[in-house]
């Protein structure tokens, strides 16, 4: 059977997670979030990052990293005492558009003031051959299986079943399927490029994984240069198109007690080379974006904050082309404020976000079907970016 390809996460429904009081979005290979500051774009990305953190560290630490349950739960009016997340995915062997891998999580904080505990309920549903679908419900330490009756497992109250069940269940009970779903979220990388960190020499000579803030940019590009020369050559061609005057990316190993790597830019008409620390803000961001787009082994889910920040509008055509090419290997959820970038998207790639009067996010603020209809009526005379910027699609201050 052919390996699964994006999109892996097909639908996400969120209740009472920060500004996401009641949000449901359907996702494709490339998803671009637009809307004003505070509309919920970052919160939607963080829901996915939260599930990844919870798989790696458990439920309570993932909440604590965000200020705790009471800071994560929606604090506006009409608030529920619980946080809820539903996810439809396609990652296991027998899954598909009509038979998805379904997961839901509901988290409530106990009422005890002396020692409040997290209470959670989880539900898993997986498609299996011959109609033998598997359903698993976790409530406290009790696990219920369809067709297998009930049994009690030593699962600590508050522990995340998504992380724990692969170690407790046999493959025929669904352990392997839970593991595949857990690995989907554990693989998530939320990129928020920190140019100041990316400019610094990398602390290692080669790195197979790009750090979420691009702090090891030099080492990661050196790895692609050494291990994937064809990919690096294509990356270099795009880098020269993105950075005027660039001729060559030059790697200089750093010796001493801790080996590292420095990346220099050899530029046309200049003697010597320009260190990454001396390069422009936009040049560093462009190289970091190209690094993640040319990643030989990308995560299944890639989230990017403010993808257009510091980039010239003339390179956005190629950037969108690269995103579409890379979306055959990793599913993208991206936030932008750029009408010029949105002009280059299709309606199915656009998710408009806005904040309602009750402080809750509206995502999507307009259905893709209506956006498609508007685009057809305009016959290409006005781009999606102009439609959004004028307020015709919502999602403006």
Q: What does the pLDDT read at residue 1? A: 42
Is-contact 9 87, C-beta < 8 A?
yes
- Asked if the model's pLDDT at residue 316 lies above 70, the reply is yes
Q: What percent of the chain has pLDDT over 70?
A: 94
The DSSP-derived string for 309-326 is TT--GGGHHHHHHHHHHH
In the chain, pLDDT over 90 holds for what percent of residues?
A: 76
Q: Average pLDDT for residues 68-73, to the nearest whole number? A: 94
In 3D space, the residue among 128, 136, 130 whose CA is nearest the CA of residue 95 turns out to be: 128
Q: What is the DSSP string of 232-287?
A: HHHHHHHHHHHSTTEEEEEEEEE-SSS-EEEEEEEETT-SS-EETTTS-HHHHHHH
Average pLDDT over residues 61-73: 95
Q: In whole angstroms, what is the distance from residue 118 CA to residue 99 CA?
A: 31
Identify which has the larger pLDDT, 127 or 188.
Answer: 188
Q: What is the pTM of this model?
A: 0.93
pLDDT reading at 281 higher than 70: yes
Q: Which two tokens stand for residue 147?
A: 């067709």
Could you tell me how far CA 368 lies from the centroid of its own chain? 20
pLDDT at 258 over 90: no
pLDDT at 195 exceeding the cut of 60: yes
Q: Which residues contact 82 (CB under 8 A, 6 or more apart)?
A: 15, 16, 73, 106, 107, 108
Residue 134's pLDDT band, with cuts at 50, 70 and 90, is confident
Kindly state the average pLDDT of the residues 169-195.
92
Interhelix angle for 229-242 vs 316-326, to 10°? 160
What's the average model confidence in pLDDT over 388-392?
94
Closest CA to 118 of 152, 179, 79, 73: 73
Q: Is the pLDDT of residue 362 over 90?
A: yes
Q: Is the pLDDT of residue 128 over 60?
A: yes
Average pLDDT over residues 189-198: 96
Cis peptide before 120 (omega within 30 of 0): no
**Token couple for 228:** 């994937």
């Amino acid at each position: 059977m052919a390996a699964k390809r994006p999109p892996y996460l097909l639908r996400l429904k969120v209740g009472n997670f920060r500004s996401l009081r009641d949000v449901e979005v359907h996702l494709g290979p490339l998803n671009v979030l637009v809307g004003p500051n505070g509309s919920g774009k970052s919160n939607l990305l963080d829901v996915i990052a939260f599930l990844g953190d919870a798989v790696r560290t458990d439920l309570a630490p993932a909440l604590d990293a965000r200020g705790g349950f009471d800071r994560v739960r929606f604090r506006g009016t009409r608030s529920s005492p619980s946080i809820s997340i539903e996810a439809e995915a396609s990652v296991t062997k027998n899954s598909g558009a009509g038979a998805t891998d379904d997961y839901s999580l509901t988290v409530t904080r106990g009422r005890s003031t002396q020692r409040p505990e997290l209470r959670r309920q989880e539900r898993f549903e997986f498609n299996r051959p011959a109609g033998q679908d598997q359903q698993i419900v976790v409530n406290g330490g009790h696990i219920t299986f369809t067709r297998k009756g009930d049994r009690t497992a030593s699962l600590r109250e508050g522990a995340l079943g998504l992380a724990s069940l692969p170690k407790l269940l046999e493959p025929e009970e669904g352990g392997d399927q839970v593991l595949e779903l857990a690995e989907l979220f554990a693989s998530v990388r939320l990129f928020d490029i920190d140019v100041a960190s990316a400019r610094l020499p990398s602390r290692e000579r080669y790195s197979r994984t790009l750090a979420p803030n691009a702090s090891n940019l030099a080492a990661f590009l050196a790895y692609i240069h050494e291990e994937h020369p064809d990919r690096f050559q294509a990356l270099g061609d795009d880098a020269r198109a993105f950075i005027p005057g660039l001729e060559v990316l030059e790697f200089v190993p750093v010796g001493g007690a801790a080996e590292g790597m420095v990346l220099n830019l050899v530029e046309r008409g200049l003697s010597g080379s320009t260190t990454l620390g001396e390069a422009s803000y936009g040049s560093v961001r462009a190289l970091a974006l190209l690094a993640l787009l040319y990643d030989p082994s990308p995560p299944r889910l890639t989230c990017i904050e403010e993808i257009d920040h510091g980039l010239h509008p003339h390179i956005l055509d190629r950037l969108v082309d690269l995103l579409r090419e890379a979306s055959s290997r990793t599913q993208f959820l991206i936030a932008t404020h750029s009408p010029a970038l949105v002009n280059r998207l299709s309606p199915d790639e656009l998710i408009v976000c806005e904040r309602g009067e009750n402080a809750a996010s509206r995502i999507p603020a307009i259905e893709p079907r209506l956006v498609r209809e508007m685009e057809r009526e305009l016959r290409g005379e006005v781009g999606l970016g102009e439609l959004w910027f004028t307020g015709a699609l919502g999602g403006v201050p």
